[in-house]
Amino acid sequence: MRKSFKLGGLAAVVLLVGGAGVAVMASKGDGPKKPGDEKAKPALEFVASEVVKPALASMPAQIEFSGPLVAPGTVVVRAKSNGTLLNLAVGEGSRVKAGQALGQVDLEELRYRIAERGASVEAMRAQMEQAERAHKANEGLASKNFIAQTALDNSRAAFEAARANWQAAKAQLDTSQVTLRQAALVSPINGIVAKRHAVPGEKLAAEQQILTIVDLAKLELAGLVGTHEVSRLKPGMPVQVKVEGVDQPVEARISRIAPAAEPGTRSIGVTLALDNPKEAFRAGQYAVAKVVLPDDTQRLTVPLAAVTRNSGQEQVWMIENGALVRRIVTTGRSDTREGRVEILNGLKPEAQVLAARFDNLREGDKAQIVAAKSAKVASAAASAPVQQ
């Protein structure tokens, strides 16, 4: 029994060794493959719309800045004297006209002050007249040498001091009367009540805020522009303004430019004036201003999608002598509206540039331009825009 097992195992080993030898001999018999035996890789095909030549075009520069709209015609109605707010005839959102009564303030305290100062004026006038009579009497005595010159000088000084006191009292009375006239709550401008700062029955102090009135007929937009761009802006230039919530842009004009840069920002303030006769816009709305500067220079440009970035370098893919070539370029101005970018260095006008980004391209691969893509040879698939 044991002998039969040994004979079977020996036979299995012989068969295994023999099979391996046959496989080795078969592999040696194949011989080395010739380069021509491999199937040639097909050329990449691109239709005419996927390949462009750099084109000369003008590229107007654009300067953008943003900020909230503000109403320069904003006034704050204040209490001119201490008193009690009796009533307010308008509320927030009410439209008012210049000279319109806004409310009533109890000015009894101011009236008492005016009466007091009026009495002071009368007292000072009486003292002045008394000093004047005394001085005239001293002049008569001095002409007859009955009094010394010093006594005459003293009476003159007393008269002039009394007259100055009388004039000061009159000035104080006039000031109080002007305050009384101005203390009436009337609107100084045409506009809309934006905020109420006090309520009826509240005790007011002098110069305390009562109402804020806004004139929306003219608005302004203040933004910051870099010092390298502000020299190209001038007061009066037209500007396109896109206001949030409004589909169509509106035209404004540069009103003024700050004479110095903001500390620590290297930016200069630019203010736009926006006419708003229909009051379609409100103060506080966010807006973006765009200044388009004309360009008289013809620049070499390619589509924006043709330029990609690799390892911090900008590049384009070209078809040159039937093969793909990667070319490093230097870009200048870009126009997102037209979808083009200026090429400063790296391309010639006759270059054939791939107009979009394609994945899995290798420099040196064969490429050709065809009328229509072959069904067997697929072009490189277009991908999403490159991440900058």
What confidence tens digit (pLDDT) does each residue in 106-161 have?
877 778 888 999 999 999 999 999 999 998 888 888 888 888 888 889 989 999 99
The confidence score (pLDDT) of residue 161 equals 94
Structure tokens at 151: 């006594």
Q: What's the rounded mean pLDDT across residues 69-86?
A: 91
Within a domain: residue 42? no
For 33-37, 114-118, 138-142, 268-272, which range has the lowest pLDDT when averaged over its residues? 33-37
Q: What's the rounded mean pLDDT across residues 88-93?
A: 92
Last residue of a domain, one of 293, 309, 329: 293
Same domain flag for 226 and 159: no
pLDDT reading at 28 higher than 90: no
Within a domain: residue 210? no
CA distances from 364 to 98, 266, 370, 376 (A): 79, 47, 18, 21
The pLDDT tens digits for 214-264 are 999 999 999 999 988 888 899 999 999 999 999 999 999 999 999 999 888
Nearest to 331 by CA among 305, 361, 357, 360: 305
Within a domain: residue 126? yes
The string over 325-352, giving b where at least 16 C-beta atoms fall within 10 Å of a residue's C-beta and e elsewhere, is bebebebebbbeeeebbbbeebbeeebb
The pLDDT tens digits for 279-315 are 999 999 999 999 988 888 899 999 999 999 888 899 9
pLDDT reading at 27 higher than 60: no
Same domain flag for 347 and 289: no
pLDDT reading at 198 higher than 80: yes
What residue numbers bound the domain in which 112 lies? 106-182
Within a domain: residue 152? yes
Within a domain: residue 202? no
Here the CATH number for the domain that contains residue 254 is 2.40.30.170
Within a domain: residue 220? yes
By the 10 Å C-beta count (0-12 exposed, 13-18 middle, 19+ buried), 318 is classed as buried
Angle at 87 between CA 82 and CA 89, to 5 degrees: 125
Same domain flag for 283 and 304: no
The confidence score (pLDDT) of residue 373 equals 65
Number of domains in the chain: 3
Among the ranges 19-33, 187-201, 361-375, which has the highest mean pLDDT value? 187-201
CA–CA distance, 212 with 197 (Å, rounded to integer): 8
Q: What's the rounded mean pLDDT across residues 14-32?
A: 42
Within a domain: residue 67? no
Within a domain: residue 114? yes
Q: What's the rounded mean pLDDT across residues 45-74?
A: 91
Same domain flag for 272 and 337: no
Last residue of a domain, one of 248, 265, 293: 293
Same domain flag for 231 and 301: no
Here the CATH number for the domain that contains residue 325 is 2.40.420.20
Last residue of a domain, one of 182, 203, 235: 182
pLDDT reading at 331 higher than 70: yes
Neighbouring C-beta atoms of residue 301, cutoff 10 Å: 26
The pLDDT tens digits for 201-222 are 999 898 999 999 999 999 999 9
